[in-house]
Amino acid sequence: MTVRSIPSGQPDSRVRFLRSATLALTVETDGSTVCFQLAGELDMASVQQVELALDSIDADTHRLVFDLQQVEFIDLAGLRAILGANEQGRRRGFGVKVIKPQGLASRIFTLTAIGRDIEFADPVTPEQARSAPNPG
């Protein structure tokens, strides 16, 4: 298992991230599953950090999990990044699952009704997310 913790503004040897005072991103790879654990605010100021991490996903990935349990706020730019990842998954052949945030951050998913386009899961541990079956 490989774990790369990428707090706001910290460079990574494979991906260069912009400074974001509002978002911490941990990228965890376990076999063919990549888990993005986000904490803070996924918004216009921090979304490029996630987009750059998406660009680093390799061809062996079969599942991408967005763990949003510690996200406090999501704006339309953050939502667009998640939708873009879902579309990228369709094109490249990997499944995308979103572990829902709690509280007010979850409202954007309800208000926009994108649940029919993205696979959602209730909050779970990262181990439960990785052990879920890959889409067929």
Q: How confident is the model at residue 11 (pLDDT cuts 50, 70, 90)?
A: very low
Question: CA-based angle 101:35:43, to the nearest 5?
Answer: 45
Count of domains for the chain: 1
Assess contact for 7 and 20: CB atoms under 8 A. Answer: no
What mean pLDDT value characterizes the chain?
A: 80
Question: Which tokens in the block code for residue 91?
Answer: 């094109």
Measured distance CA(124)–CA(69) in Å, rounded: 8
pLDDT at 16 over 50: no
- Asked if residue 77 belongs to a domain, the reply is yes
**Of residues 19 and 123, more confidently modeled:** 123
- Asked if residue 90 belongs to a domain, the reply is yes
pLDDT at 6 over 80: no
- Asked if residue 136 belongs to a domain, the reply is no
CATH number for the domain that contains residue 54: 3.30.750.24
- Asked if residue 72 belongs to a domain, the reply is yes
Q: Can you say how many angstroms the Cα of residue 118 is from the centroid of all Cα atoms in its chain?
A: 12
The pTM of the full predicted model, rounded to 2 decimals, is 0.76
Measured distance CA(24)–CA(40) in Å, rounded: 6
Measured in residues, the chain has a length of: 136
Q: Residue 49 sits in which domain range?
A: 2-131
Q: What is the separation, in whole angstroms, between the first and last Cα of the chain?
A: 24
Mean pLDDT for 92-115 is 86
- Asked if residue 99 belongs to a domain, the reply is yes
- Asked if residue 44 belongs to a domain, the reply is yes
